[in-house]
Amino acid sequence: MLLKLKILKVADVTSSYVDWFSVPETICYSDSQYRSHTLEGQKEYVNSCLSNDDVDLYGIFDDDLHVGNILISGLNSIHKKAEIAYIVGDTRYRRKGVASFAVSTIIEISKTNYQLNKLYAGLAEGNEGSRKVLQKNGFVLEGRRFAHLFYEGKFLNQLDFGLVL
Ligand SMILES: CC(C)(COP(=O)(O)OP(=O)(O)OC[C@H]1O[C@@H](n2cnc3c(N)ncnc32)[C@H](O)[C@@H]1OP(=O)(O)O)[C@@H](O)C(=O)NCCC(=O)NCCS
């Protein structure tokens, strides 16, 4: 694999990217389960990220193949903290270290390009893959919000993780 992060452009939006969100195990712990995804809608989303100076949306690429995304939000925070969220949408790339690579790369970018002091991320309790990705990258559990999320007809706890850079 030749993994890299690149700011996602409208031209990167393909039907394969849109199809990520029709896989039940991809959206079972995500607000994406409440949205419908279309080519036009994803292009608008990518465009809105490009025109928002508080966020950067990176595509995770294996060479030229778009396999996932990592979003960083809060770049203008006076507290120098930003939130991250990520997805490895191409299921062939799961459990191969792709999300771990993306988080580790965003940590470096956050220090060198954004001069941030802290990153944080929230996930639904039970999302073991996501929890391991954060813990492998040094994030620590800062809190548990009880019954904070409603996914697939159930109330789930939210685990809040943070990393002081
Ligand atoms: C969660 C997700 C990002 C993990 O991506 P990934 O590229 O497969 O993760 P990695 O390969 O870097 O795995 C990191 C560790 O988690 C483990 N892992 C990954 N998925 C797992 C799962 N479903 N259950 C248990 N462990 C899992 C890996 O085996 C690895 O463990 P190891 O280092 O001990 O070998 C991916 O499954 C995904 O996109 N899910 C849907 C969207 C989502 O949940 N995003 C996060 C929202 S907070």
Q: Determine the pLDDT at residue 71.
A: 98
Dist. CA 8–CA 146, nearest whole Å? 34
- Rounded to two decimals, the pTM is 0.97
Measured in Å, residue 87 CA sits from the centre of ligand 1 at 9
Measured in Å, residue 144 CA sits from the centre of ligand 1 at 20
CB of residue 98 inside a 6 A radius of ligand 1: yes
| Domain 3-164: assigned CATH number | 3.40.630.30
Contact 123/29 with Cβ under 8 angstroms?
A: yes
Amino acid, single-letter form, for residue 31: D
Q: What mean pLDDT do residues 131-153 have?
A: 98
Q: Which two tokens stand for residue 128?
A: 């073991």
Q: Determine the pLDDT at residue 19.
A: 97
Q: Per-residue confidence at 159, pLDDT binned at 50, 70, 90?
A: very high
pLDDT 10s digits, 9-38: 999 999 999 999 999 999 999 999 999 999
CB of residue 103 inside a 6 A radius of ligand 1: no
Q: Determine the pLDDT at residue 148.
A: 98
CB of residue 127 inside a 6 A radius of ligand 1: yes
